[in-house]
Amino acid sequence: MSATRVLLLPSRNVFTNLAAEERLLQSTNAKTLLFYINTPCVVLGRTQNAFNEADVSFAKQQQIAIVRRRSGGGTVVHDEGNLNFCWMTSRDEYSPKKAALMISEVLRNEFNVSGAHVSDRADIMIDGMKISGAAYRISGNRAYHHGTLLVKSDLEQLSRVLRSPLRGDLTASGTKSVRSKVTNVWVHQEVGMQQLVEAIAKRFAGTEHMRTLSPYEVDGFERERQEIMSHGWVYGQTPRFQYEVELDQGRRITLHAKKGSVIENVELHAGGEHESKQHGLRDALVGRAFDGGDLAQGLRASAGSIAESGAFFRGIADVLEARVPQQFWQREEDTHAGADENLIGL
Amino acid sequence: MATLLRSLPLRRVAQSAPAFMRPSLLRHFSSYPSDRKYNSSHEWAKLDGDVATIGITDHAQAALGDIVFADLPEVGSSAVSGERAATVESVKAAADIYAPLDGEVVGVNEKLEETPDLINSEPHEEGWIFQIKVSDPSQLDALMGSDDYEKTLEEK
């Protein structure tokens, strides 16, 4: 076992921190414990669907960034009351539960949180409620276990953004989130962030000494940051999914989106003569992005040219415009993440 | 006995078997086919003509656990040796799959869309992941044979 170095990222920008984390994994071999804190954001697992996991319109309105991370697992929300840790090792030393066990030990022994324990899913729990979620990434001969630790988060605010209005009508492939009751460490012990970080560092590395690392020191950081901020990553990596919409009189349509949330097929479920209508729907919608405005525009453009189905198409346009989120894409600079360009410590 | 054990996923044996049957010893039964090459990040490549089929090794699938999703490369995209080409996800863990050779992706295992756990049950056969039309077959010489790959596992 080689010595563990402890690093602290000074930014509160989620894109900056995730990019630095990824590039540290790829560009060094040192065993590393990393800490960072982000402004409010939704962080999806590698193969998840933003529409299914979050209210993307609410997120945009509140300037809460929606981010896709490179590790597996379910969606989490972060704010400045949440401490993120990442333990990087060689692939051979990778052990899914070890970091969680060590952190729960710190909570019990150093902060007297007697109920802290690790669940079967490697989450840290207190009295049956989750305070820390875990996710893993393996790349080449390196691996990490990273996780959240809810210290003093605004849980109510955070849960609102996860209430997706599309869930229930959307069938996503990829990983599903497991909803859990959550709580803060603060409920059990009023512990400061700095105190907690030092105690965890001591348990992992045998020292409280840590270095504040500028992300610009990390090889390949800027390119990675650009990539994870891109539409092509956040939405372009959405695995294929289906979305079913109720029309009227028991009629429904199913939108099939291929990888990248672009419509590749449309099915109309209605009794009787609907063959030609289904054909028309496909012509109007296939190739368009899964965006209520975009889909409605396609239908209205087609409605004019097919007199007998015009009203039918316009009706579906109204329904999709109302149900499918529109113009939800957020540029980084318009989110809380982008608003914070300062490099500040804990 | 050896044949029977080979047909069981190592993971299950590891959980239920007495110490003498655990994976470190099972490796001596040589479960890694000699008709292909391996790299240190646990991918295998099997060349047929100028097309190489790529998958992950039994060791890799056992370490990952139950695979629930495979993100496959696009047919027609280029594969670059040592760079990520695909991702597989087990419960909470996402693992990069590297292209072990340069070339063009000419096929993906579409069965993995519905049954990604084929990678667990048959990592060296039905659980293959993608195919590359290789631009330089001599790149295979730089990869390990099954004996050398197994030695790297024993050292762990």
**Chain A contact for B94 (CB, 8 A cutoff):** yes
Q: So what's the ipTM on this one?
A: 0.88
Strands annotated E in A133-179: 134-139, 142-150, 170-172
Chain B: residue nearest A142 by CA?
A: B41
Measured between beta carbons, the chain B residues lying within 8 angstroms of A239 are 69, 71
Distance CA B14, CA A45 (A): 29
The predicted-structure confidence for A61-115, as pLDDT tens digits, reads as follows 999 999 999 999 999 999 999 999 999 999 988 888 899 999 999 999 999 999 9
Indicate if the alpha-carbon torsion angle A3, A4, A10, A11 is positive or negative. Answer: positive
Pick the CATH number of A5-237 from 3.30.420.10, 3.30.930.10, 3.40.50.10860, 3.40.50.720: 3.30.930.10
pTM across the whole model:
0.90
Nearest to A235 by CA among A167, A148, A317, A331: A331
Distance CA A8, CA A11 (A): 9
Measured between beta carbons, the chain A residues lying within 8 angstroms of B93 are 71-73, 96, 135-138
**Chain A contact for B63 (CB, 8 A cutoff):** yes
**Chain B contact for A140 (CB, 8 A cutoff):** yes
**Chain B contact for A152 (CB, 8 A cutoff):** no
> Regarding predicted confidence, which is higher, A196 or A305?
A196
The predicted-structure confidence for A200-256, as pLDDT tens digits, reads as follows 999 999 998 999 999 999 999 999 999 999 999 999 999 999 999 998 878 899 999
Measured between beta carbons, the chain A residues lying within 8 angstroms of B95 are 137-139
CA distance A105 to chain B (A): 22
Distance CA B127, CA B119 (A): 4
Pick the CATH number of B5-155 from 3.20.20.70, 3.90.1150.10, 2.40.50.100, 3.20.190.10: 2.40.50.100
Q: How much of chain B exceeds pLDDT 90, in percent?
A: 75
CA distance B94 to chain A (A): 4
The answer to which of A107-111, B12-16, B55-59 has the lowest mean pLDDT is: B12-16
Domain A241-323 has CATH 3.30.930.10: no
What is the pLDDT, as a whole number, of residue A342?
55
What is the pLDDT, as a whole number, of residue B9?
43
What is the pLDDT, as a whole number, of residue B24?
45
Distance CA A241, CA B34 (A): 40
Q: Where in chain A is the domain with CATH 3.30.930.10?
A: 5-237
- Interface A–B counts its CB contacts (< 8 A) at 70
Cβ-contact A256, A282 below 8 angstroms: no
